[in-house]
Copies of this chain bind each other. A is one copy, B any other.
Amino acid sequence: MKNTLAQYKQQVEAALEALPMEGAPEPLRSAMRYSLLSGGKRLRGCLLLAACDMAGGNVADALPFACALEMIHAYSLIHDDLPAMDNDTVRRGKPTNHVVYGEAVAILAGDGLLTHAVEVMAASCHPMAFRALGEIVGAAGVRGMLAGQTLDVTLEGTRPDVETVQRIHKGKTAALLTAPLTAGLILGGAGEKEIQAGREYGYHLGMAFQIVDDLLDLEGDPALMGKTLGKDLEEGKITWPAAVGIEQARKDAAWHVDQAVKALDCFEKKAEFLQALAVSTLNRVQ
């Protein structure tokens, strides 16, 4: 599994490096590239390529969409880190965008990455480009990621019920891990039933991923995580362990991974990589 993941990641990295941002004036271009090319797992991009592959599609044709997902993810982190939002100064061991470029340019860099993500998808000649674009933008939108962000920001410091925490994590994290599956399958030529299976996998993977993320903030290695730990608890952030306790959170993460694995059974042998990836979520250290 690790080899395949590394190959997908390399393709996404190369495509991101090669993105045509020449027309963007400085310091906008540098600010956009600073956050976009600052490392990270490229999980969203890799998931999209893997889903396209699983459906028997051409991975190279899906690359603009993998890049778009990574740009949308990078934009959400830039805006999330702003002083008016989470006020984070370090991410992946480096100063956050607004610390380096100032708040005004950081806001524009986020806007720029979101807009450029759509531009790159709109330039694709893939016959399913329009539908895949709709899936990805919908996941990033006011019923998806932005819904989660809004609830997260406005409810911070409160103790919402478990259903609300679930709604936040579904929007904040699972939406942008579901879109790579559905869009990748659409680009790969999958049928509606398969797309629906991918949607379920993405949701459960996303929930597991967020729970493990919350657990790592409590129990992880600060050197590997590249950020200050224990911050969530200190700042009254809404997390799964805070809502249900650490032991139950561990069980829930395992359950979601199990559901994710089962969702892809219809793909038989072809699902091996994505199923192994889901299982590996439980053991990640960063």
Contacts and interface: CB of A to CB of B under 8 A. Distances in A.
Contacts of A142: 21, 23-24, 28-29, 32, 112, 115-116
Interface residues of A, number: 46
Interface stretch (A148-156, A202-210, A232-240, A246-254): A148-156
A48 to B, nearest CB: 17
Nearest to A153: B104
B119 A134 contact: yes
A46 B82 CA distance: 35
Interface string A137-150: 11011110011011
6 contacts: A23-B147, A27-B150, A28-B142, A84-B103, A85-B107, A115-B137
A12 interface: no
Given A141-B116, A142-B28, A79 B105 contact: no
Contact of A24 (B21, B84, B112, B147): B147
**Interface residues of chain A: helix, strand, loop or mixed (majority):** helix
Contacts of A134: 119, 122-123
Interface of A: 21, 23-25, 27-29, 32, 75, 79, 82, 84-85, 102-105, 107-108, 110-112, 114-116, 118-119, 122-123, 129-130, 133-134, 137-138, 140-143, 146-147, 149-151, 153-154
Most chain-B CB neighbours within 10 Å: which of A27, A32, A118? A118
A238 B141 CA distance: 34
A107 B105 contact: no
